[in-house]
Amino acid sequence: MEEAGEPVIMPLDDDEFSAFVRLRYAALVRYGASLLGDPAGAEDLVQLSLVKLNRAFDRVDPERREAYTRRVMARAGWRQARRRWNGEVPTAHVPERAGLGDGEVVVDDRDALRRALAGLPLRQRVVLTLRYLDELSEAETADVLGCSVGTVKSRAARGIEALRRSGLASEHEVTPRIGQQGVEP
Amino acid sequence: MTEAEQIRQLLLEAGDGVVPRATDPVEAVARRRSRRKASRVVALSAAAVLVAATAVAIAVSGHSIGAKTPAATTTSVAQRKVSAVDTKLWVISEQSVLGRGNRATGTRWALGPLPVNKAQQISDSGGSATNPVYVIEMRGSFLCGGCSGHGTGSVPTYHVLTLYVLASNFTILGVGLDNTWYDLNRLGKPFPLVEPPGGLTPLERHPNMAPFVGTWRSASGILKVTLGTNRLNYGGPTCLEFASGTPQCQSITFTTRGVGIGADAGRSYRSLVGVIASDTVGLAVGSQITLTTASGDELIVSTGGKPSVPIPNPWCGPSARKAAC
């Protein structure tokens, strides 16, 4: 029985939309996890984005629906970074404790990188996701997030720098697809 | 592996193995959407409380508060800017009301564009709609000229007029007369139709024009109003200015749905008491009107009376074509 005060669930009557949700939900949650680094938050983000897609479903080109959803997710993630409660990040790893000798803590490079990525500020992570996972140019990333190209550059640079400090190999530095601003003559 | 590839790999790993908690994602999204709607309702309720508190404060301070419109007691206000569509709908509603020799009281409400199935929930008058429609609801005193059994001169009056307007071309698809106010909130978010600030010719009956309600007699004694376009020709002033600013010259085209209510179509009449919707607004006293229905029936209509003064040319109005006048 439904709890008192719980809103009545209005069924999604659009079969096409329901089919889209069933088909792409898991993939979108994985993308959200890449974006936020938090699986639970990712699922929240996906659901909120799908609610927005639902309202615009008929207007969005069928071939662009997933792109639309991802764009909404990226923007929401970017805005989410401004919220105060984001200051507390739940983590499965307890901090390193004092008194442990070097030989007692074995951390491989890969794990250090993962933790460095998890420790990045949300906006840096969102920019890195769009730049390196979605392979957007700096200009495209700025367009999606509604910020300047300079902001994208600075966030990406700081994020990469943090990863480098944790062991990111930089001997073959190659940037992803370069926007017009970055094209060398 | 390049730096970019390493970062990409790291990001992919963050998502790999993540299994959604929701077993039914569609239900999860529906639940989320319902929550958002509920929170909006709470916000609107808070706003309503604030408005009520303000009204009480004004009343206590000695200022008078205008009585709520009849519609406002049953229909909530959806805030929106007055658009071109609102203006069109207002003109249509105004023409329909005054064309019937009636008057509307209180706020008019509109809703739409509504899907066909939703419009049909209100009345069968919108039943033949195959395209989205706007629904306009008004309160006032409205004469039902096309109602059956009215050769006696007594015209029934209703207090709620509902118009169904095709969203594609803003033609009136159907008219409903009733005494019960239908709460448009059940179908969506209605918005009030208010008179646009200036810019429109006031729709007032010219003193030289005929009454909008009269008795018409068919030449054959029986008029069969059929579905399709019927044509009304009349001899009178060649051009008349209507509220919409569009001059009507020589002939007026209307559909059977413009006669009385939508249920008129397909019925036979020995006499008609009523009006031909908004198009009769410009008829002059003493005009001879021939109504030719789609089935070939003709109805000679005299609006009765004599013009008290010659009909002046300026009736053509500022936007009418001079040559036609």
Percentage, residues of chain B above pLDDT 70: 33
Q: Does B21 touch chain A (CB under 8 A)?
A: yes
A53-57, A109-113, B84-88, range with greatest mean pLDDT: A53-57
Once rounded to an integer, what is the mean pLDDT over residues B116-128?
60
Q: Is A112 in the same domain as A74?
A: no
Residue B259's pLDDT is: 34
Q: Is A116 in the same domain as A172?
A: yes
Residue B26's pLDDT is: 82
Whether residue A93 is contained in a domain is answered as no
Query: Which residues between 47 and 76 in chain A have a beta carbon less than 8 angstroms from any beta carbon of chain B?
Result: 47-48, 50-51, 54
Whether residue A160 is contained in a domain is answered as yes
pTM for the predicted model, two decimal places: 0.40
Q: What is the pLDDT of residues A71-125, one digit of tens each?
A: 899 988 888 776 544 444 445 554 444 433 443 343 456 677 788 888 888 889 9
Q: How close B21 comes to chain A (CA, Å)?
A: 8
Q: Does B43 touch chain A (CB under 8 A)?
A: no
Q: What is the mean pLDDT of chain B?
A: 55
Structure tokens that stand for B319 in this block: 């936007």
Quick check: B95 pLDDT over 50? Answer: yes
**CATH number, domain containing residue A129:** 1.10.10.10
Q: Out of B6, B20, B38, whose CB is closest to A169?
A: B6
Q: Is A76 in the same domain as A126?
A: no
Phi-psi region of B298 (alpha: psi -120 to 50; beta: other; left: phi over 0): beta
Name the one residue in this structure whose structure tokens are 């916000």: B43
Which tops the pLDDT comparison, B26 or B309?
B26
- Distance separating alpha carbons of residues B105 and B237, to the nearest angstrom: 31
Q: Is A72 in the same domain as A115?
A: no
Residue B129's pLDDT is: 55
Predicted confidence band of residue B109 (pLDDT cuts 50, 70, 90): confident
Once rounded to an integer, what is the mean pLDDT over residues B154-160?
71
Interchain proximity A113–B21, CB inside 8 Å: no
Quick check: A47 pLDDT over 60? Answer: yes
Which tops the pLDDT comparison, A185 or B179?
B179
Quick check: A180 pLDDT over 80? Answer: no
Q: What is the mean pLDDT of chain A?
A: 73
- The DSSP element (H or E) to which A45 belongs, if any, is helix A39-56
Residue A154's pLDDT is: 93
Q: Tell me the C-alpha to C-alpha distance, in Å, between residue B164 and each of B122, B126, B167, B227.
A: 10, 6, 9, 17
Q: What is the pLDDT of residues B268-285, one digit of tens each?
A: 433 333 333 333 334 444
The total of structural domains in chain A comes to: 2
Domain closes at, from A48, A66, A83: A83
A vs B: CB pairs below 8 A: 109
Percentage, residues of chain B above pLDDT 90: 0
Q: Does B44 touch chain A (CB under 8 A)?
A: no
- Distance separating alpha carbons of residues B137 and B108, to the nearest angstrom: 6
Whether residue A3 is contained in a domain is answered as no
Residue B120's pLDDT is: 67
Q: Out of A40, A114, A129, whose CB is closest to B13?
A: A114
Whether residue A56 is contained in a domain is answered as yes
Q: Three-state SS across chain B?
A: CCHHHHHHHHHHHHHCCCCCCCCCHHHHHHHHHHHHHHHHHHHHHHHHHHHHHHHHHHHHCCCCCCCCCCHHHCCCCCCCCCCHHHHHHHHHHHHHHHHCCCEEEEEEEEEEEECHHHHCCCCHHHCCCCCCEEEEEEEEEEECCCCCCCCCCCCCEEEEEEEEEECCCCCEEEEEEECCCCCHHHCCCCEEECCCCCCCCCCCCCCCECCCCEEEECCCCCEECCCCEEEEEEECCCEEECCCCCEEECEEEEEHHHCCCHHHCCCEECEEEECCHHHHHHCECCCEEEEECCCCCEEEEECCCCCCCCCCHHHHCCCCCCCCC
Contacts of A168 in chain B (CB under 8 A): 3, 6-7
Residue A151's pLDDT is: 92
Determine the residue of chain B that is closest to A11 in CA distance: B30
Whether residue A102 is contained in a domain is answered as no
Q: What is the pLDDT of residues A158-176, one digit of tens each?
A: 998 888 888 776 654 445 4
Q: Does B27 touch chain A (CB under 8 A)?
A: yes
Quick check: B81 pLDDT over 70? Answer: no
Whether residue A4 is contained in a domain is answered as no
Whether residue A95 is contained in a domain is answered as no
Interchain proximity A113–B32, CB inside 8 Å: no
Can you give the residue range of the structural domain that contains A40?
Answer: 13-83
Domain closes at, from A38, A66, A83: A83
Domain closes at, from A83, A98, A125: A83
Residue A157's pLDDT is: 92
Q: What is the pLDDT of residues B214-261, one digit of tens each?
A: 333 344 444 444 444 444 443 333 333 333 333 333 233 332 223 332
Which tops the pLDDT comparison, B101 or B132?
B132
Contacts of A118 in chain B (CB under 8 A): 14
Whether residue A2 is contained in a domain is answered as no
Q: Is A69 in the same domain as A118?
A: no
Which tops the pLDDT comparison, B252 or A5?
A5
Residue A152's pLDDT is: 93
Predicted confidence band of residue A184 (pLDDT cuts 50, 70, 90): very low
Contact B293, B227 (CB under 8 A): no
Name the one residue in this structure whose structure tokens are 């390493």: B6
